[in-house]
A and B are shown apart, each in its own frame.
Chain A
Amino acid sequence: MTESANQPGPEQATRLSGAQLLIRLLERQGVTRIAGMPGGANLPMYDALVNSPIQHVLVRHEQGGGFIAQGMARANGQAQVCFASSGPGATNLITAVADAQMDSIPLVAITGQVPQQMIGTDAFQETDTFGLMLPITKHNWLVRSPQELLSVIPEAFRIALSGRPGPVSIDIPKDVQSAFLEFEAWPEPGIADPAPRVSLDDVQAMMDRIRQAHKPVLMVGGGVAQANAADALRTFAEQHDLPAVQTFMGLGVIPSDHPLSLGMLGMHGARYTNMVLEECDLLVGLGVRFDDRATGKVSAFCPQADIIHVDIDRSEIGKIKSPVLAIQANVGDVLDAINAQQERTTRPLWRQRVEQLKHAHPLVLEGEDDLFRPYGAIRAVAALVDDSVNVTTDVGQHQMWVAQAYPFRRTRQWVSSGGLGTMGFGVPAAIGMALAQPERKTLCFTGDGSVMMNIQELPTLAEANLDVKIIVLNNGHLGLVRQQQSLFYSENYNAVQFEQTVNFAQAAEAMGVRGVDLARAGNPHEALREALQETGPCVINLPVLETEMVFPMVPPGGANSDMIGG
């Protein structure tokens, strides 16, 4: 749509319904695709969407719509929109919004609400969406007039994208959607606020600390990915010879095979990774929030180290660990300021010690040559594709195995539900990633537990005919729960085995997606190769044993030095 069509001269007033206004404001924000589901209370929005260039992705469950929008946002960093109706439509979105809040994803959730005169009367499909969304968003609104949309929509995008990104929710009563408004001028689209200015004094202080340190380590998190600062990070690490551990959200920011990469830290980190942190004397946290799965028991985390913390969110500083130096800034800006100084340092002794630990206590990927063992399956899949693929997962053992073993080499190549740990994330997130970047193949590793939680989106995938490969590591169990019952509850297994197993290849076929069962393939390697290399959606069933474990493992609440296995 041309700007002139959108922007009539000041003399002519524009007359639009609230719903038409909403759609036009979303177009002006650059929105090209919305995932959602219509219902009674958002019918006017869908009516207005008919003549819009915005493409609508009709989902089978609103949670799927929320995660498709998240998948798009995580792939390209832009704010993405999902639609749902009131009541159950809105409550079905909740999980995807809470997930976006935990992982700092810019999501704009727009829900219909019963007409204002019916609010508070327990009307059909009425629920307090404002109240429900409040604790799981950066900010949220109940819009009371079409006029308010002129400020709320740009403000919603501004807030979702500014500083530390996150979800916002806008609840719009049906009468506001239907009411007409005459107005003179369009508001400017909402964009991210500029990041706070980096103080060069802070940067100098940080570099002084790093120069003085004998055993410094970088802790790299999702904030580096959000800042698109992977190249700057790599330059920084290389110029100052700084080994880097990655949080779950930071995987891929530094290539997994880079000599300075120490892999993922924490609960399922390699032994050497956590051991290096035991010894380090300075930990530089870059875009991290010291999540409990990363730190283990906080009082025992990096016991020898001073901490420097760089984060855009001031409330993260000092929340868990008290730093000796904190910089509230966009981590990319800080790294650029450091790199501009072109200083070089080498630390042969520390690097030698790190290498020693790495060789003595490496990440053990048991069964990595066997297709029907977890690490072997992940390695086999990775060997059949190149670095251009995007990878997502569901939540459970398969997720941790992928986090440990997949050779990530790009920022935003890796997308997974980190903070909330939402089973059901994978399939719709994969659809969203493939919609945002259709030129890339998208892999979704999942389990037989997780995949059932949003398997209804397979027909959505079939309709869009995207190049998404869903690999089900199928052990007939809730594997990570079983693992915990095995290790910490005396093998007192309860409610972890599915007595009725699902034939996922057939289930996929029934929903319009190709299904391949490697258990029944004459040549499973060849079947896997063929399934991965052709273009288009496919579900690949890959049986593994329920006795497989994710090792090493730090017991929940334990110190990272108390690893089990591996």
Chain B
Amino acid sequence: MTEQGRSVLKLTVNNHPGVMSHVCGLFSRRAYNLEGIMVMPIEGQAGNLSRMWLLLKDEERLDQIVRQTEKLIDVLVVERHTVNDSVFARAETFFAA
């Protein structure tokens, strides 16, 4: 997967119903370009926390997106990553045509 125009956010979130809606809702209502999502519970956290990877395309408003995402109550940590340093690079083969 190319880095071109792509950025990745790694989120640590509370694992309970509604968290996915809060994150996806933010991205759709603010018209941020969300291209991919991967979510799994974090191992060893008794199912209390989840890791959420977000793939963004052609986003010049990354600072603004990070700040809005950090405001979500169930989002505990937001980190920036490159595509190569993310789950998306390794998952590429599962999304081949």
Chain A residues close to B by CB (< 8 Å): 130-131, 134-135, 138-142, 159, 313-315, 317-319
Contacts and interface: CB of A to CB of B under 8 A. Distances in A.
Nearest to B74: A139
Contacts of B71: 313-315
B18 A130 contact: yes
A138 B22 CA distance: 10
Interface string B21-59: 110010001000000000000000000000000000000
A134 B72 CA distance: 11
Contacts of B73: 138-139, 159
A323 to B, nearest CB: 13
A142 B18 contact: yes
B21 A134 contact: yes
Interface residues of B, number: 15
A141 B17 CA distance: 9
B68 A315 contact: yes
Given A135-B29, A142-B17, 8 more contacts: A130-B21, A138-B73, A139-B73, A140-B18, A142-B18, A313-B71, A315-B64, A315-B67
Given A135-B29, A139-B73, A159-B73, A319 B21 contact: no
Nearest to A140: B18
A317 B66 CA distance: 12
B85 interface: no
B63 interface: yes
Contacts of B17: 142
Contacts of B18: 130, 134, 140-142
A141 B18 CA distance: 8
Decide if the interface of chain A is mainly helix, strand, loop or mixed. Answer: mixed
Contacts of B67: 314-315, 317
A130 B18 CA distance: 8
B54 to A, nearest CB: 17
Top 7 nearest A-B pairs (CB, nearest first) are A315-B67, A139-B73, A135-B29, A315-B68, A134-B25, A135-B25, A314-B67
A527 to B, nearest CB: 49
B64 A131 contact: no
Contacts of A135: 25, 29
17 contacts: A130-B18, A130-B21, A135-B29, A138-B73, A139-B22, A139-B73, A139-B74, A140-B18, A142-B17, A142-B18, A159-B73, A314-B70, A314-B71, A315-B67, A317-B67, A318-B63, A318-B64
B80 to A, nearest CB: 16
Contacts of B63: 318
A317 B73 CA distance: 19
Interface in B1-34: 17-18, 21-22, 25, 29
Nearest to A315: B67
B3 to A, nearest CB: 24
Nearest to A138: B73
A330 to B, nearest CB: 16
B27 to A, nearest CB: 11
B64 A319 contact: yes
A140 B18 CA distance: 9
Contacts of A319: 64
Nearest to A130: B18
Interface in B58-97: 63-64, 67-68, 70-74
Contacts of A314: 67, 70-71
B16 to A, nearest CB: 9
B2 to A, nearest CB: 28
Given A139-B73, A159-B73, A318-B63, A131 B21 contact: yes
A239 B73 CA distance: 40
A134 B64 contact: no
A391 to B, nearest CB: 32
Contacts of A131: 21
Contacts of B68: 315
A480 B65 CA distance: 35
Nearest to A136: B29
A130 B71 CA distance: 18
B66 to A, nearest CB: 9
A478 to B, nearest CB: 28
Nearest to B63: A318
A307 to B, nearest CB: 16
A140 B73 CA distance: 9
Looking at A139, A142, A317, which has the most chain B CB atoms within 10 Å of its CB? Answer: A139
A138 B21 CA distance: 13
Contacts of A315: 64, 67-68, 70-71
A158 to B, nearest CB: 10
A479 B17 CA distance: 46
Contacts of A317: 67
B77 to A, nearest CB: 15
A131 B21 CA distance: 8
B44 to A, nearest CB: 24
Nearest to B17: A142
Nearest to B16: A144
Contacts of A138: 73
Q: Which of A135, A140, A313, A317 has the most CB of B within 10 A?
A: A135
Contacts of B72: 139
